């Protein structure tokens, strides 16, 4: 029997102090950034609770206390009560949909007197625990569609509730769980399909109104149709191991497309896309024939991929123009370079790029940024806080912050891989995926490389909900890791 005092001492000895050190360093640099972003010329006390920098100290202090409490709990607690925690937060998310308080067009905040909490930030760790519990059961097999569909359902359900709260950005974070699915054996074709859909959407929309040479052919449609054919042929080579068929498909598709282009360019002008649609139909017929002849089911899956690609592409324009909200449509157009809109949707990104560029190599120094002090960048202490790092600390400081995040990600990979049980490994990769998604998207949107979806930068953005949420994610994993070698009766 392990006594409480012995267990606590063992936990502290087994605790990964490197990760704790990185966490504390990120908290310190995060507070410096919040201080720089929220500081106004003339302020005399940056530690006052009436300022955001002062309140952030409170959030940091409570987060450290929360982390300590999480470490003192038995690691089996998170396994045993995973489903209970998940259901409780699902009920809280559902109740928040009917929240009468709307903040910046979103109903995702619960207002409790002077305190505002965002349940979506806490639901991440609850979902990670539930999915880890489910996938670590003895009979779970990710290659069985029934099991995999149930696992996806555990992730999708909180997403739907969060979307209903008009908080699309927070909902998209849950897509990061697919990185964990891939690590645990999800077929790479599913991940590739998701990447392919993004390529279709970007290429098709961005170059939709550009004509191919002297032909009445949309470059966007032409590129997507050609990619569908090339990807389909490549999947035949990858999953059916038939090099001869792959070469034959590529020669026919590319050769006929080139002939159609030359004919349309110099003889009779016509839309080459019609020829490409015919080629796609021919590919489908060929794949179905090969599937029936060889009884190899992979041919049917590849045919489904080709059909899904075509359906997705032709529905993308409809979704963009008829389903998405106007502000979402404008953001996508700005990101793709179709609209500039420096005074509207593109204003935040444009001003943050100016702030980062003005920082140069070494930055302007602490509290000396002009773009941030004059409040040119909206949300500069929350979603766009990385621009403050770029302006005040320059390239050197920005690179240092990114290296800290890289160290955290690499450390999480190391910790996840050394877990003796599936529950700990899966939870570790859930935490890793969420942090990676937040850092990549947040820094990318500040630099104008990814869409502006409004998600915080871990340990940097101002606010208690996000800081507590990330602390919960990280320290639950640290507690699970610390108990990996604990001897129990």
Q: What are the pLDDT digits (tens) for 439-488? A: 999 898 888 777 777 789 999 988 888 999 999 999 999 999 998 776 55
Collapsed DSSP state (helix, strand, coil) of residue 90: helix
Residue 3 lies in a domain: no
pTM for this entry? 0.84
Domains contained in the chain, number = 2
How far is it, in rounded angstroms, from Cα 358 to Cα 364? 8
The reply to whether 198 and 173 lie within a common domain is no
In this structure, the answer to whether residues 88 and 196 fall within a common structural domain is: no
Residue 218 lies in a domain: yes
Domain shared by 196 and 176, yes or no? no
CA atoms within 13 A on the CB side of 243: 0
315 and 196 part of one domain: yes
CB 45 within 8 A of CB 447: no
Name which of 137, 177, 145 is nearest 158 in CA terms: 177
- Tokens, residue 484: 């990996």
**Residue 55's CB: how many other CB atoms inside 10 A?**
17
- For 148, 306, 385, the CA distances from 394, given in Å and listed in that order, are 45, 46, 13
Its domain, for residue 289, covers 190-323
82 and 196 in a common domain:
no
Q: Which of 306, 323, 340 is at the close of a domain?
A: 323
Residue 283 lies in a domain: yes
- Residue 27 tokens read as 């908290």
Q: Which of 298, 323, 348 is the last residue of a domain?
A: 323
Asked if the structure places residue 356 within a domain, the reply is no
- Same-domain check for residues 18 and 158: yes
Do 462 and 34 touch, CB atoms closer than 8 A?
yes
- The two structure tokens encoding residue 54: 């002062």
Q: Look at 154-158, 170-174, 257-261, 333-337 and tell me which has the smallest mean pLDDT.
A: 333-337
Cα–Cα distance between 281 and 297 in angstroms, integer? 19
| C-beta neighbour count of 338 within 10 angstroms | 15
Distances (CA, A) of 243 to 193, 246, 250, 281, 303: 21, 5, 11, 21, 17
Distance (Å, rounded) from C-alpha 30 to C-alpha 401? 9
Question: Is 414 a member of any domain?
Answer: yes
In 10 A of CB 138, how many CB atoms?
A: 5
| Enclosing H/E stretch for 110 | strand 110-112
Residue that has been written with the tokens 């090099």 in this structure: 243
Q: What is the largest CA-CA distance in the chain?
A: 88
> CB neighbours of 407 closer than 8 A, spacing ≥ 6?
22
| Same domain, yes or no: 146 and 84 | yes
Residue 333 pLDDT level (bands cut at 50, 70, 90)? low
Q: Are 261 and 212 in contact (CB under 8 A)?
A: yes
Would residue 2 count as lying in a domain?
no
Same domain, 205 and 250: yes
Mean pLDDT of 314-322: 73
Average pLDDT over residues 9-24: 88
Residue scoring higher pLDDT (311 or 110): 311
- pLDDT score, position 472: 95
Residues 146 and 36 in one domain: yes
Contact indicator for 460, 29 with CB cutoff of 8 Å: yes
CA dist 486 and 4 (Å) reads 12
Where is pLDDT greater, at 305 or 348? Answer: 305
Highest mean pLDDT among 87-91, 115-119, 191-195, 293-297: 87-91
Q: Residue 209, CB half-sphere, CA atoms under 13 Å: how many?
A: 5
> Which of 323, 338, 361 corresponds to the end of one domain?
323
Residue 199 and residue 148 share a domain: no
Q: Are residues 178 and 194 in the same domain?
A: no
Q: What would you report as the CA-atom Rg of the chain, rounded to the nearest whole angstrom? A: 26
Give me the pLDDT at residue 375, please.
65
Residues 138, 146: Cα–Cα separation, whole Å: 15
Are 395 and 360 a contacting pair, CB within 8 Å? Answer: yes
In a domain, 388, yes or no: no
Question: Which of residues 374 and 409 earns the better pLDDT score?
Answer: 409
Report which of 450, 473, 325, 464 is spatially closest to residue 384, judged by C-alpha positions.
450
Position 358 in a domain:
no
CA atoms within 13 Å, Cβ hemisphere of 277: 10
pLDDT at 284 over 80: yes
162 and 117 in a single domain? The answer is yes
- What is the DSSP annotation of 246-289? HHHHHHHHHHHHHHHHHHHHHT----THHHHHHHHHHHHHHHHH
């Amino acid at each position: 029997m392990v006594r409480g005092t012995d267990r606590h001492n063992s936990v502290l000895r087994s605790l990964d102090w490197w990760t704790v050190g990185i966490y504390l360093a990120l908290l310190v640099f995060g507070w410096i950034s919040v201080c720089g972003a929220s500081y106004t010329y003339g302020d005399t006390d940056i530690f006052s609770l009436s300022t955001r920098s002062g309140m952030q100290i409170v959030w940091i202090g409570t987060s450290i206390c929360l982390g300590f409490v999480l470490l003192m709990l038995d690691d089996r607690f998170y396994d045993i009560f995973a489903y209970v925690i998940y259901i409780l937060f699902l009920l809280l998310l559902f109740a928040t949909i009917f929240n009468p308080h709307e903040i910046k067009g979103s109903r995702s905040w619960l207002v409790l007197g002077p305190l505002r909490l965002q349940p979506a930030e806490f639901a991440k760790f609850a979902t990670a625990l539930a999915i880890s519990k489910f996938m670590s059961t003895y009979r779970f097999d990710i290659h069985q569609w029934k099991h995999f569909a149930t696992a996806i359902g555990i992730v999708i359900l909180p997403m739907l509730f969060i979307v209903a709260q008009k908080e699309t950005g927070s909902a998209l974070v849950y897509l990061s769980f697919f990185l964990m699915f891939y690590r645990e054996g999800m077929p790479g074709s599913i991940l590739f399909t998701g990447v392919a859909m993004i390529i279709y959407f970007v290429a098709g929309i961005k170059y939709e109104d550009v004509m191919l040479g002297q032909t009445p052919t949309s470059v966007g449609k032409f590129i997507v149709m050609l990619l569908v054919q090339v990807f389909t042929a490549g999947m035949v080579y990858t999953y059916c191991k038939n090099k001869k068929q792959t070469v034959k498909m590529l020669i026919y598709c590319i050769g006929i497309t080139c002939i159609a282009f030359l004919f349309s360019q110099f003889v009779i002008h016509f839309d080459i896309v019609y020829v490409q649609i015919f080629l796609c139909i021919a590919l489908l017929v060929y794949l179905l024939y090969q599937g029936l002849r060889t009884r190899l089911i992979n041919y049917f899956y590849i045919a489904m991929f080709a059909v899904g690609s075509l359906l997705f592409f032709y529905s993308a324009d409809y979704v963009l123009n008829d389903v998405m909200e106007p502000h979402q449509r404008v953001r996508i157009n700005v990101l793709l370079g179709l609209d500039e809109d420096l005074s509207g949707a593109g204003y935040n990104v444009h001003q943050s790029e100016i702030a980062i560029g003005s920082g140069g190599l070494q930055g302007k120094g602490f509290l000396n940024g002009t773009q941030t002090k004059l409040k040119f960048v909206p949300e500069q202490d929350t979603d766009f806080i990385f621009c403050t790092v770029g302006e005040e600390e320059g390239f050197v400081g920005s690179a240092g912050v990114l290296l800290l995040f890289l160290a955290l990600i690499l450390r999480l990979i190391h910790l996840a891989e050394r877990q003796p049980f599936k529950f700990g490994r899966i939870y570790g990769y859930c935490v890793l995926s969420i942090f990676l998604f937040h850092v990549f998207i947040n820094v990318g949107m500040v630099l104008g490389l990814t869409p502006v979806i409004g998600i915080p930068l871990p340990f940097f953005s101002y606010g208690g909900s996000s800081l507590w949420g990330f602390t919960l994610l990280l320290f639950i994993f640290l507690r699970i890791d610390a108990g990996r070698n604990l001897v129990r009766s």
